[in-house]
Amino acid sequence: MLRRILLPIALITGLHAQTVSTEILGLVTDSSGSVLPNATGKARRVVTGDIRSTPSNETCNYICPVLEIVAYEVTCSATGFKTEVRSGIELQLQQKLRLDFRMQVGEQVERIEVTGAVGLLRTEDATLGSVIEHQRIVDLPLNGRNFGQLATLMPGVVYGTSRMGLDGQQTIGQRAMPGQIVGLSANGQRDTNQNITLDGVVAVDGFKSAMLFVPSVEAVEEFRVQSAVYSAEFGMNSGVQANVAIRSGANQLHGAAFEFLRNDVLDARGFFLPATAQKNKLRRNQFGGLVSGPIKKDKTFWLFNYEGRREIRATPSRLAVPTPAMRQGDFSEILQPRNRWYPNDANPAVTRAIRYPGSTDPFPNNVIPASLIDGAAKNLLTFKNTSPFSYGGILPLPNIDEAARAAGSTLNYAGTSDQVLNSDQYLTRIDHRFGDRDRIFGRYVIVEASWDNNPVTRLDRQITSYRAQNLGLGYTKILSPTMLNEARFGLNRVRASSVAITTNSGFKLSDIGVDQPVVGDNNRPLTAFEEGIPNISISGYTGTGSAGITENLNSVYEGSDMPHMGLNRYSRGSFASAPESPASSRAAKFSGRLISRGVNQL
């Protein structure tokens, strides 16, 4: 019978870090290797001019925490020493980048400039993972433009088959558009154990732990997949930890437009398709663009992205359906020796003869008298209201019966399973600097989509509408040269609603002679929303029934606050460290966070 699903409301509170722990740190020494106190490190983000300045502590370590990604110019200066500048520094998501400086004696106005890439050796943590940067995201071919497929470039990471399927183009029931979902598995962990964040805030639903929308590849700056040995800030999930960063605007105006086309006219025939079968139909258009730039130079930046998807699929299929004679009660065909329905039956005239219950005499010529056929059964084969066939009923009439009989096949109906998928995705982001100490960002994604899934049996056609939304807000404030506070809020909301062709159509199951009350609810009658044909199985033939109806509403909201305190004023007692200790270790920095997280499901 049709199902109406209402998921219970739940509230969950727990520690679940969503901060973006991206930082530059290092040790400052003189030319002899001795530590150099009272130095100043500055990190300037090239595209926006944003500068983060921090003094070295008494252990001569400096640290610039909670940085945005992409290119930086890092400067170190100290009285009596030449200023050293490192340019071309590419900072990756969740990276703790170590840049040690060995200062040369001289005037501060003298500059030593070093240009070049930093070595790939990671010495600040033991996390196993990789970063896919923007260039690879936009350049590598992706089926359906799902950036999650790139995660499989990393050792031990595969598609989560219960989420994305073996080809990365599937989904979970009717909770998301096919191909518009991210689910990953690493090192044998189930994809249900994954966690994904977008700009440091929650991006998965609270029911299936899946990302049910896919930002445009043009809008993704980079993403990082951690497969094992996570930092302590990642909790609650033992599987893949994926962190996605959306691009921000810059001081220059940038834009891009795209159109990606797949069309079966350009495709070869499937190798295993019968010679008479048509090709699978596929018409997919993905189009859109991205623009970004400054509102106020060095202060306020914006980004806007749109992506549309228009897709039509048709997959040829063949079914076994009752012949017109059988629909009238005439089953004489199955009495014939070696008939197509029972080709291995040695004596079908005896074993396949139909008898009235309790009688030993078969019906003449295996024809059931019309008076003995139940009225509800007749109505199921002939009703017109909401039937997908012009002649009515729950099953199609055979359209290749003669050819099937000649071939000895029971597959006497040929058709296609059709799908129409449409979606429109909008993404915007604003970044603003109030000054050298205060910075905020806001990012919002909304996806409106529909999926018309019309199987070859037609009666179980299902139409699903989706709306996915994700909001991320962040505020970073430098309280002092040794203290920084980062606050973030995230909201992930997904709504999916599926209906059948009988839903709210005026169809009543009782009109065709079938009475099926809701037994678990005091035998009440079905509502107009619940009405439909129950699932019907016919041995040896194709079964059918109306599609299920679902209503899913899932909201995950999250707030976090994380203070960062350096060592030059907080290095007493257990927080003291030797000069060679990494400035980013938990012995060299105190980080605390207060996080509230909730899940609402309907």
Domain ranges of the chain: 23-115
Percent of the chain with pLDDT over 90: 39
Q: What whole-number distance in Å separates Cα of residue 148 and Cα of residue 137?
A: 10
CA atoms within 13 A on the CB side of 389: 19
pLDDT per position as a tens digit, 303-334: 999 999 999 999 888 999 999 999 999 999 99
- Report the pLDDT value the prediction gives residue 21, as an integer from 0 to 100: 65
**How far is residue 495's CA from residue 553's CA, in Å, rounded to a whole number?**
4
Confidence of residue 122 (pLDDT cuts 50, 70, 90): low
The proportion of the chain whose per-residue pLDDT surpasses 70, expressed as a percent, equals 84
* pLDDT, position 581: 30
DSSP-derived letter for residue 330 is: B
Question: Which span out of 223-232, 272-281, 293-302 was modeled with the highest average pLDDT?
Answer: 293-302
Q: What is the pLDDT of residue 563?
A: 83
How many Å apart are CA 169 and CA 162, to the nearest integer?
Answer: 11
pLDDT of residue 341: 94
Residue 331 is classified by DSSP as -
pLDDT digits (tens, 9 = 90+) for 482-541: 788 889 999 999 999 999 999 999 999 988 998 888 888 898 999 999 899 999 999 889
- H or E element in which residue 382 lies: helix 375-382
Of 130, 237, 145, which is closest to residue 182 (Cα–Cα)?
Answer: 145
For residue 497, the cross-strand partners are: 465, 551
Backbone angles phi, psi at 54, to 5 degrees: -150, 135
pLDDT digits (tens, 9 = 90+) for 343-365: 999 899 999 999 998 888 999 99
At residue 232, the pLDDT reads 66
Q: Say what the pLDDT of residue 287 is.
A: 96
* pLDDT > 80? residue 388: yes
First to last CA, the chain: 21
The yes-or-no verdict on residue 120 having pLDDT over 50 is no
Distance between CA atoms of 496 and 2, rounded to whole angstroms? 17
Residue 495 · residue 461 · CB < 8 Å: no
C-alpha distances in Å from residue 420, one per residue of 336, 461, 498: 43, 12, 14
- Provide mean pLDDT across the span 382-396: 93
Where does the pLDDT of residue 121 fall: very low under 50, low under 70, confident under 90, or very high at 90 and above? low
Residue 142 clears pLDDT 90, i.e. is over it: no
Tell me how far CA of residue 48 lies from CA of 240, 432, 490, in angstroms: 32, 10, 24
Q: Is the pLDDT of residue 25 over 70?
A: yes
> What is the dotted CATH code of the domain comprising 23-115?
2.60.40.1120
CB-based contacts of 304, cutoff 8 Å, min separation 6:
290, 291, 292, 426, 427, 428
Instruction: Name beta bridge partners: 85.
Output: 75, 113
3-state secondary structure of 134: helix
What span, in angstroms and rounded, lies between the C-alpha atoms of 508 and 515? 10
Q: Which tokens belong to 231?
A: 């930092």
pLDDT in tens, 187-218: 777 777 788 889 988 888 877 778 889 999 99
51's CB contacts (< 8 A; 6+ apart) are 42, 43, 44, 45, 436
The size of the chain, in residues, is 602
Give the HSE-up count for residue 265: Cα atoms under 13 Å, Cβ half-sphere. Answer: 4
Average pLDDT estimate for 41-55: 85
CB-based contacts of 459: which residues, under 8 Å, 6+ apart? 387, 388, 394, 395, 501, 533, 544, 545, 546
Q: Average per-residue pLDDT in the chain?
A: 82
* pLDDT higher than 70, residue 17: no
pLDDT at 417: 93
Q: Is 36 in contact with 28 (CB distance < 8 Å)?
A: yes
| pTM for this predicted structure | 0.79
- Give mean pLDDT, residues 259-273: 85
Per-residue pLDDT at 585? 30
The pLDDT score that the predictor gives to residue 153 is 83
Average pLDDT over residues 261-283: 82
* Cβ–Cβ under 8 Å, residues 419 and 312: yes
